[in-house]
Each structure stands twice: as structure tokens, then as C-alpha cells.
């Protein structure tokens, strides 16, 4: 409604009568704060933070990734697994699990997604200090729903995707993409402040850190 | 249909009842101290950078508020460019009408909701119910409050006033009426209660095609909306439905994407005492093939421009709803949130509520006094809102309004005595002589003051009298 729009804007302008007309609208970017806080080697810090959030973490060499993916799915007992259709097929050369590819053009039905045992993706960036993994919907990360509905999320993080601090992570990301920042499995502290892992999102988050 | 803050007595009265509830006080003390300690640890970890992030956060928000018209228009253009629709609501009634119309256009009668202060403020659920639309709260604490026909008592943990056995009873009594029933043999183990909520809500998430949310931030230059949460109910609502409607206060804007560098560090550490909350979702308009394909942003004024017009009170609009001020406040710790009579409790509520509502009632006039002015709230605020300054400013406004004749007369008399050294000396001599006759509790009108305070002891002589005696003795 344009009338409400004009009314609200007029009220805002009237409320700001004290602001000098020549005060610059654009704020100079100074960033007086640190990019990171020197808490240690990025991979070590990331691993520590993820474990603190009760995520499972394994450091794996790049040439053993297919074995490690297979082993993780087997440990979990995951026999059907959703995967984004742009993920590297080689990673699944050793697993017995049945793959259910998902893409924007051919999405899995929600009920089907609810029925799979887990999901495997990569990420866009990981932030060590806060133990955060960010997904940006890229072809190897997929639609937001696939990492949300299944109860187990296996995420492959490459060492070159890891930054130390939040500001560095924000600068690597494109806000035009839908982003999901994940710091450990779903959790709540709503009942007497007791932390309970796992409410609606995946109750188990496993991370393979590829060196 | 649901409980309301309307009719809750003014703070002193509501606080007296709350303070006498020993179970409430126990729950509150445990909860506020737990979060307070966690916050302290993760804030200390950032060492001196914390203060830099804090002042940068304050500067970004203050700057945005001073040019809010510019940033609102920029946000509107960016959201529309990305395929979203923008609506403007001058007050609660308009916002409720817009949301009701948008839900009706989807043809749905059920909506799922992400926890949102703005929609609580405008009492959206009641408005939707009148239109035959059921709004299902999906945050665990909000679900507890909704099923229990109760009111939220904390910004971040709305069911902080309830214990696990009370929550178990609410689930057993009410879940079946709202959807999937609680399992038989449900215990009061928090794990079991969370599992019951997961099962209860999963069906709802998979089926419901319209969602309503708020937002923690709206980025003007990119048109991006940001929601921070823990449980994943937010992701469910923001991702699975076909239509998403976000009701966002006009003060939630930050100018640029890069500004989030600051707030994504200060908000989680201040609110839950975590380095980062489990889930943060950001979206910019609609993404073909991923998430809701219809996105509506409702920009809400509802009194915010009145707050903006007050050059002292304006800083309250910097608030990012972390609730650190609640957890550190000695008054909140003893009274809990309900006593504040508003969806915004605690120190921030004591300055925000009366400004938003315009000090139109006894409840609002009492709120600026719901504080000892100890300043702990200012110390912990991640955007450095000087809450005590605004409290004193609002007290001035209350005192200069109609009424308070007795207080004004006393102050007038005090002005006459304190303004003249002769009058003061005479009064002090008289008081010293009569000191043993002063009761601990004052009679008459002044009794209201000593109801809650001890009258200070009157010294035998004033400092001036003592000084004069000693000076004379030595010369």
C-alpha cells in the first residue's frame, strides 16, 4: 500500500529532524575489529569447536576420501543417502549405500527426503573460531531442504575452505545465494537451560576434514 | 484464544506477587546465572576485540537509524529486485490485516511460525485466529507457551519460568488437541520432551505450505534477511513451505552485508553464550527451485518512529534482542518477565515498551522505575545502549506529566531548603535534635516511599557543624 509506505517514510523523516541535512549517508568502512583472534591453527581450532558442539569429526587424507565416506555411512548404518546432483561421484565409489540424487530441476519429494538415512554434501566455507560450516546452495551442496530433513548430515570440508574468523568467512560468501550456517547439530536449551542435541534438524552432524 | 499481557497490574504490584513465588525465583536464578556465566566466558575469549566489536555495532546501528528513510528505500528496492514483495505497515492493525490477506491468498488455513518478537508485539496469532487461520508456533519454548495458554517471560527462552514437570504436564494435556499426541509414558527428561516436540511438529512441517517469520537483520544493500536460531524449526519454516511472510520492525536494518561480520560475532555470544548459534539462515528474495517461491516482507512501524523522534530514547532501537540485559539484571532475576506486562521484559523492556506504547497507562508509567539504575545492563549490552540514561530520561517525562502533586510539593520544599545555606543549617540542626524521634516508617503520603526502603539514620550533627567545631578547636 503506497499510502502506508508514504506515511511511515514521512514519520521517519519527521523523527530525524535533528540530523543535519549534509550528514553523509554512506558510512566509511573502517573495521576497527580483528579479522580473527589468533586461537591456533585453523584446522585444529575447527575440530575442537565442532567437538565442543557434539559433532563427530575425522581428519582424512584426500586420497582416502572414498574409503572414509564409505566407512562413515557404514558406521551410521545409512543404506539410503540423499546427495546433491553436482557432488563428486568418485567419493561414493566404495560405498554400498543407495544414492538418491537431488537437484533444483528434479527435487526429491519431501516424504522421500524424510525417509532417507542421511545426506552427504560439501560446504562453501568453514569458520574455525566459531566451529561453523556454511552451505551456499552450490551444485555440490544442494537445496536447503536436503541437509535439513534427514537425521544425519555428513559434510566434507576441504582444508582450503577453512578460514580463522567470522569476518573472513563473511567476505567469502555471496549474499545473493541462500546460505545456511551450521554450528553443530540442532540443539535446544529451552527446558531448564539443559542443552539437548537434536530437535528438528539433523541430530547427528559428522564432518570429514580433508587435508 | 491465547493469553494476553492486557490486564497485568503495574510493575510494583506484579513484582510483589512474582517475588513471593519461590519456585519461580529458583528457576530464574538458576537460568539467569547459567547464561550469564556462559556469556562471560565467550566474551572474555575475544579479549579487547570485544569492546571494539561492541562500539562498532553501536556505531553501525546508530548510523542506520539516523538515515533510516534512505536504508528503508534501499532495502525495499533490493528485496523487490530479488523477487520478493514489500509491504508497509504503520501499526499493528495494518500489519495484521496485510498478513491475514496474504495468508488468505494462499488458500491455506494453517501456518507455521518461527519465533518472532514483532509478531508477538502485534498479537498476530489472535488476529489470524479471528480470520479462521491457525498459527502454529514451532520454537520449543514458544510451543510450550502456546500449548499452556501461557505468556512468554524471556526474549530468548520464553518458558524460562516453567520447570520440566510442568512442561511434561502441558504436553500430555494439550498436544493431542493441536496435532500429534504426546507419547504414552512421557517422562520429564528434557531429551524425552524435545523428542516429543520433534515428533509432534515434524508432520506439521512436512504438510504446511505457508510460514511466518521475523528476522534478526535485514541487509539494505543486498536485500538479505537473516534469522539466527538453534533448533532447526526456523530452517523448516524458512525452507519447506511455498510461501514465506516475514514481519520485520523497521529498526532491524543494517546497511551492508559486511556489517554482519560484527553482529554474527556479538549476538550469539551475548544471547546464548555460544560462539555461534547452531543454525543461521539467510535468504535474498526467492531462489528458483530452492525454498519458498513466494516471499513477502512486511515492514512494521507500530510506534518505532515515535521512539526514533526522541533523541535520547532513540538508542533503544539499536537493540538486537540478545537478552543479555535480562540475564544480568538483579530486578529481572527476582521478578521474571511477566511482571513487566509486555513481550519485551527486563531492562530493555523497561525503556522500549513505554516508548513504543507512548506511556499511555499506569503500567507504562511504572516501567521506567523498574530498575535500581545499577548499570549492569549497559555493561553487557552488545550495542552499548545506555539503558540507565534512558530510564532516567523517561522518569523525567513521567514526573513532568500530570499527577505526582505530593512529590512535586516535597521537591519544591527541598529546593527552598537546599538552595539557601542558612535554611539548610537550620533544618540540619532541627533534624539532629529530633533524630531519635524519627520513625523507621514515615506516616501518611510519604509512607509509600518507606514501604520499600529504610529511612536513612539522621546524624547528630551535620558535617559543617562538625567541621566548624574542629576548626575552631585547632586554631
What is residue B475's predicted lDDT score, i.e. its pLDDT? Answer: 52
Q: What residue ranges define each of the domains in chain A, with the CATH number in brackets?
A: 40-210 (3.40.50.10420)
Task: Write out chain B residues lying below 8 Å of A7, CB-based.
Answer: 88, 90
Cell triple for B300? 512494521
Say if the ipTM goes beyond 0.85.
Answer: yes
Long-range contacts of A112-115 (CB under 8 A, 24+ apart): A113/A82, A113/A145, A113/A146, A113/A149, A113/A150, A114/A149, A114/A150, A114/B202, A114/B206, A115/A80
Interface test with B, best of A20, A26, A192, A204 (most B CBs within 10 A): A192
Alpha-carbon distance of B287 to A177, in angstroms, equals: 8
What is residue B2's predicted lDDT score, i.e. its pLDDT? Answer: 58
pTM: 0.91
Task: Write out chain A residues lying below 8 Å of B291, CB-based.
Answer: 143-145, 178
Q: Could you tell me where the beta strands, DSSP code E, fall in B356-429?
A: none
Task: Say whether residue A16 is in contact with chain B using an 8 A CB cutoff.
Answer: yes
Residue B333: helix, strand or coil by DSSP? helix
Cell triple for B140? 520449543
Out of A114, A194, A201, name the one closest to residue B232 (CB).
A201
Cβ B67–A114 below 8 Å, yes or no?
no
Helix B164-178 / helix B190-207 crossing angle, nearest 10 deg? 20
Residue B231: helix, strand or coil by DSSP? coil
Task: Say whether residue B231 is in contact with chain A using an 8 A CB cutoff.
Answer: yes
Alpha-carbon distance of B44 to A32, in angstroms, equals: 18
> Hey, which residues 349-378 in chain B have their CB within 8 Å of chain A?
none
Cβ B140–A190 below 8 Å, yes or no?
yes
Burial (0-12, 13-18, 19+ Cβ within 10 Å), A154: buried
Per-residue pLDDT of chain B (475 residues; tens, 9 = 90+): 457 787 788 999 999 989 999 888 988 999 899 999 999 999 999 999 999 999 999 999 999 999 999 999 999 999 999 999 999 999 999 999 999 999 999 999 999 999 999 999 999 999 999 999 999 999 999 999 999 999 988 888 888 889 899 999 999 999 999 999 999 999 999 999 999 999 999 999 999 999 999 999 999 999 999 999 999 999 999 999 999 999 999 999 999 999 999 999 999 999 999 999 999 999 999 999 999 999 999 999 999 999 999 999 999 999 999 999 999 999 999 999 999 999 999 999 999 999 999 988 899 999 999 999 999 999 999 999 999 999 999 999 998 887 666 667 777 888 888 888 888 888 888 888 887 777 777 766 667 777 777 777 888 888 888 888 887 766 5
Q: C-alpha angle with apex B355: B352 to B357, nearest 5 degrees?
A: 105
Out of B205, B257, B305, name the one closest to residue A8 (CB).
B305
Would you list the domain boundaries of chain B?
50-305, 417-472
Return the residue of B nearest to A15 by Cα: B309
Write out pLDDT tens, residues A30-56. 899 999 999 999 999 999 999 999 999
- Does the pLDDT of residue A2 top 60, yes or no? no
Residue A119: helix, strand or coil by DSSP? strand
Task: Say whether residue B45 is in contact with chain A using an 8 A CB cutoff.
Answer: yes
> Hey, which residues 86-115 in chain A have their CB within 8 Å of chain B?
103-105, 107, 110-111, 114
Question: Which residues lie closer than 8 Å to B355 by C-beta, 6 or more apart?
Answer: B303, B306, B307, B310, B313, B316, B394
Question: Which residues lie closer than 8 Å to A33 by C-beta, 6 or more apart?
Answer: A167, B49, B52, B53, B56, B261, B262, B265
What is residue B1's predicted lDDT score, i.e. its pLDDT? Answer: 43
Min distance A176 CA to chain B CA atoms (Å): 6
Cβ B250–A9 below 8 Å, yes or no?
no
Tell me which residue of B62, B6, B50 sits closest to B266, measured CA to CA: B50
What is residue B402's predicted lDDT score, i.e. its pLDDT? Answer: 76
Cβ A193–B31 below 8 Å, yes or no?
yes
Alpha-carbon distance of B342 to B74, in angstroms, equals: 32
Min distance A68 CA to chain B CA atoms (Å): 25
- A190 or B383, which is more confident: B383
Q: For residue B129, count other CB atoms closer than 10 A to its CB.
A: 14
Measured over the CA atoms of residue B123, residue A187, residue B270 and residue A27, the dihedral's sign is: negative
Alpha-carbon distance of B29 to B229, in angstroms, equals: 24
Out of B66, B72, B232, name the one closest to residue A148 (CB).
B232
- Does the pLDDT of residue A1 top 50, yes or no? no
Out of A27, A111, A192, name the one closest to residue B63 (CB).
A27
Task: Give the range among A132-141, A160-169, B13-22, B266-275 with minimum mean pLDDT.
Answer: B13-22
Q: What are phi and psi of B226, to 5 degrees?
A: -130, 130
Tell me the mean pLDDT in the region A1-16. Answer: 92
Distance (Å) of CA B425 to CA B417, B422, B457, B468? 9, 5, 18, 12
Q: What are phi and psi of B211, to 5 degrees?
A: -130, 150
The overall average pLDDT reported for chain A is 95
User: Is-contact A70 A186, C-beta < 8 A?
Assistant: no
Min distance A98 CA to chain B CA atoms (Å): 23
Task: Say whether residue A184 is in contact with chain B using an 8 A CB cutoff.
Answer: yes
CATH number for the domain formed by residue range(s) B50-305: 3.40.50.10420
Task: Write out chain A residues lying below 8 Å of B222, CB-based.
Answer: 175-176
Alpha-carbon distance of A179 to B287, in angstroms, equals: 11
Task: Say whether residue B94 is in contact with chain A using an 8 A CB cutoff.
Answer: yes
Return the residue of B nearest to A142 by Cα: B290
Beta-bridge partners for B281: A180, B227
Amino acid at each position: 500500500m503506497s499510502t502506508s509506505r508514504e506515511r511511515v517514510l514521512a514519520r521517519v523523516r519527521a523523527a530525524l529532524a535533528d540530523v543535519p541535512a549534509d550528514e553523509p549517508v554512506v558510512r566509511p568502512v573502517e573495521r576497527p575489529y580483528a579479522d580473527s583472534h589468533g586461537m591456533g591453527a585453523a584446522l585444529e581450532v575447527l575440530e575442537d569447536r565442532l567437538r565442543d558442539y557434539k559433532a563427530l569429526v575425522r581428519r582424512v587424507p584426500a586420497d582416502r576420501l572414498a574409503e572414509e565416506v564409505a566407512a562413515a555411512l557404514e558406521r551410521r548404518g545409512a543404506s539410503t543417502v540423499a546427495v546433491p546432483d553436482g557432488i563428486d561421484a568418485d567419493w561414493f565409489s566404495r560405498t554400498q549405500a543407495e544414492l538418491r540424487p537431488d537437484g533444483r530441476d528434479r527435487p526429491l519429494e519431501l516424504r522421500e527426503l524424510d525417509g532417507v538415512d542421511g545426506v552427504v554434501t560439501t560446504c562453501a566455507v568453514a569458520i574455525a573460531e566459531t566451529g561453523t560450516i556454511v552451505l551456499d546452495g552450490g551444485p555440490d551442496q544442494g537445496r536447503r531442504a536436503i541437509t535439513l530433513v534427514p537425521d544425519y548430515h555428513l559434510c566434507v570440508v576441504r582444508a582450503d575452505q577453512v578460514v580463522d574468523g567470522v569476518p573472513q568467512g563473511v567476505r567469502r560468501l555471496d549474499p545473493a545465494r541462500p546460505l545456511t550456517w551450521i554450528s553443530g547439530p540442532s540443539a535446544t536449551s529451552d527446558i531448564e537451560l539443559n542443552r539437548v542435541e537434536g530437535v528438528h534438524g539433523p541430530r547427528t552432524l559428522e564432518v570429514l576434514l580433508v587435508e | 484464544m491465547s493469553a494476553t499481557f492486557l490486564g497485568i497490574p503495574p510493575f510494583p504490584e506484579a513484582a510483589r506477587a512474582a517475588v513471593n513465588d519461590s519456585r519461580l525465583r529458583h528457576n530464574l536464578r538458576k537460568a539467569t546465572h547459567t547464561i550469564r556465566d556462559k556469556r562471560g566466558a565467550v566474551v572474555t575469549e575475544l579479549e579487547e576485540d570485544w569492546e571494539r566489536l561492541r562500539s562498532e555495532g553501536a556505531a553501525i546501528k546508530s548510523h542506520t537509524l539516523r538515515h533510516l528513510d534512505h536504508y528503508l528505500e534501499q532495502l525495499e528496492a533490493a528485496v523487490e529486485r530479488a523477487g520478493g514483495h514489500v509491504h508497509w505497515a504503520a501499526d499493528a492493525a495494518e500489519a495484521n490485516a496485510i498478513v491475514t490477506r496474504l495468508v488468505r491468498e494462499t488458500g491455506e488455513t494453517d501456518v507455521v511460525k518461527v519465533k518472532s518478537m514483532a509478531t508477538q508485539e502485534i498479537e498476530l496469532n489472535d488476529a489470524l485466529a479471528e480470520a479462521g487461520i491457525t498459527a502454529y508456533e514451532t520454537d520449543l519454548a514458544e510451543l510450550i507457551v502456546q500449548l499452556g495458554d501461557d505468556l512468554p517471560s524471556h526474549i530468548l527462552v520464553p518458558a524460562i519460568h516453567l520447570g520440566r514437570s510442568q512442561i511434561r504436564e502441558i504436553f500430555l494435556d494439550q498436544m493431542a488437541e493441536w496435532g500429534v499426541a504426546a507419547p504414552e509414558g512421557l517422562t520429564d527428561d528434557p531429551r524425552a520432551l524435545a523428542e516429543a516436540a520433534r515428533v509432534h511438529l515434524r508432520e506439521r512441517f512436512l504438510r504446511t505450505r505457508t510460514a511466518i517469520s521475523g528476522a534478526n537483520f535485514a541487509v539494505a544493500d543486498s536485500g538479505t534477511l537473516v534469522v539466527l536460531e538453534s533448533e532447526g524449526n526456523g530452517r523448516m519454516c524458512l525452507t519447506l513451505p511455498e510461501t514465506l511472510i516475514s514481519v520485520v520492525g523497521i529498526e532491524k536494518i543494517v546497511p551492508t552485508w559486511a556489517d554482519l561480520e560484527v553482529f554474527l560475532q556479538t549476538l550469539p555470544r551475548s544471547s546464548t553464550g555460544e560462539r555461534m548459534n547452531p543454525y543461521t539462515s539467510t535468504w535474498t528474495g526467492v531462489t528458483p527451485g530452492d525454498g519458498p517461491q513466494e516471499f513477502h516482507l512486511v515492514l512494521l512501524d507500530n510506534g518505532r518512529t515515535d521512539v526514533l523522534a526522541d533523541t535520547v530514547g532513540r538508542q533503544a532501537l539499536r537493540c538486537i534482542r540478545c537478552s543479555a540485559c535480562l540475564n544480568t539484571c538483579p530486578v529481572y532475576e527476582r521478578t521474571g518477565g511477566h511482571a513487566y506486562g509486555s513481550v519485551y521484559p527486563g531492562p530493555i523492556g523497561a525503556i522500549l515498551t513505554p516508548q513504543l506504547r507512548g506511556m499511555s497507562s499506569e503500567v507504562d508509567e511504572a516501567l521506567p522505575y523498574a530498575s535500581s539504575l545499577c548499570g549492569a545492563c549497559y555493561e553487557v549490552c552488545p550495542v552499548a545502549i545506555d539503558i540507565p540514561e534512558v530510564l532516567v530520561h523517561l522518569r523525567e517525562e513521567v514526573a513532568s506529566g500530570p499527577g505526582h502533586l505530593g512529590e512535586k510539593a516535597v521537591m519544591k520544599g527541598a529546593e527552598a531548603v537546599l538552595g539557601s545555606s542558612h535554611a539548610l543549617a537550620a533544618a540540619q540542626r532541627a533534624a539532629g535534635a529530633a533524630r531519635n524521634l524519627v520513625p523507621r516508617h514515615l506516616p501518611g503520603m510519604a509512607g509509600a516511599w518507606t514501604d520499600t526502603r529504610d529511612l536513612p539514620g539522621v546524624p547528630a550533627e551535620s558535617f559543617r557543624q562538625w567541621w566548624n567545631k574542629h576548626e575552631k578547636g585547632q586554631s
